[in-house]
Amino acid sequence: MTQPAPAALSLLVFGGGYLGLAAAREAIRRGGRAFATSRDPARRAELTAAGVIAVDPADAAALQAAVASASAILITAAPDSAGCPGLKALIPAISAAQAYPDWIGYVSSTAVYGDRAGGWAFEDDELNAASVEGARRVRAEQDWLDAGRGMGLTVQIFRLPAIYGSGRSPIDRLRDGSARLVKKPGQVFNRIHVEDAVAGFFASMARPHPGRAYTLADDEPAAADVVIRGAATRLGLPLPPEVSLDDPSVSDAMRRFYNDSKRLSNARAKAELGWRPRYPTWREGLEALIA
């Protein structure tokens, strides 16, 4: 008996930033269509130019129409002091549209694990966020899991470390002069190439596990100064200035990364989703960007 063809993917991304746009583009590349939200008219124009259906999240009717058309929803917008803006906008839209997506992915941060003093962090570990931003992520994760259970929705959590890719990498910072060499003995963390993160989302859509959390990270934790030195050597560029962690040239976001030191296990994503990073270490990722 001939099996019916699977329905075309329709992805709604709440938060059409760097990661959100990459996910939307992948949905289109796979033959589906993609919606993405942004409050910024200029950003919505950029999304439209990329073939994405841009939605103003403040337009309740437009958001409800996008929800009604979506087979999958990905939330990339960061939480604020009031919680996850995606939750506050999407749950009423889902209820109003009476259209329940097959899959919802919430993008969190490995900041929820807090500092492990260089030790390994696993998804079932007790969460111990050491920053306001990390604590907000912990709350947002729980809010989404609660909403999923309450409405019978398939919600997955994705904890991501520092994301890099085209236009956002040590290569770009070395070339534009914004890179800094910060040495903090014993400090390590993982990274994830934006394409590998997106691949993890789509692997989960194919193999959903309601309520499950996944750490999407590369295979090799490394100190930031090691990566900067390696990139500079590969490009034949001079090393950037060496500064202390409290130097004004070190951004608040980068300072938060240095406050935590941990190694991230991606074993669960590999075992349950069949996911493998295309760029298992920063070396392969940077080589691809150089090429």
pLDDT tens, position by position, 198-216: 999 999 999 999 999 999 9
pLDDT range class, residue 250, cuts 50, 70, 90: confident
Q: How far apart are CA 110 and CA 250, in angstroms?
A: 20
Residue 11, helix vs strand vs coil: strand
Residue 30, helix vs strand vs coil: coil
Q: Contact, 110 vs 257, CB < 8 A? A: no
pLDDT range class, residue 1, cuts 50, 70, 90: very low
Q: Contact, 48 vs 79, CB < 8 A? A: no
Tell me, what's the pLDDT at 185?
A: 81
Report phi then psi at 262, rounded to 5: -160, 160
Q: Which two tokens stand for residue 219?
A: 């295979």
With tokens 């439209």, the residue in question is 48
Q: Which two tokens stand for residue 263?
A: 């190694």
Average pLDDT over residues 254-265: 85
pLDDT tens, position by position, 100-142: 999 999 999 999 999 999 999 999 999 999 999 999 999 999 9
With tokens 């583009």, the residue in question is 25
Q: What percent of the chain has pLDDT over 70?
A: 98
pLDDT range class, residue 6, cuts 50, 70, 90: very low
Q: How far apart are CA 219 and CA 67, in angstroms?
A: 35
Tell me, what's the pLDDT at 207?
A: 97
The answer to whether residue 274 scores a pLDDT higher than 50 is: yes
The full set of domains in the chain, from first to last, is: 10-165+191-219+263-279 (3.40.50.720)
Average pLDDT over residues 274-284: 97
pLDDT range class, residue 7, cuts 50, 70, 90: low
Tell me, what's the pLDDT at 36?
A: 98
What string of H, E and C letters represents the secondary structure of 107-157? EEEHHHHCCCCCCEECCCCCCCCCCHHHHHHHHHHHHHHHHHHHHCCCEEE
With tokens 């989302």, the residue in question is 201
pLDDT tens, position by position, 70-100: 999 999 999 999 999 999 999 999 999 998 9
The answer to whether residue 2 scores a pLDDT higher than 60 is: no
Average pLDDT over residues 138-167: 97
The answer to whether residue 184 scores a pLDDT higher than 90 is: no
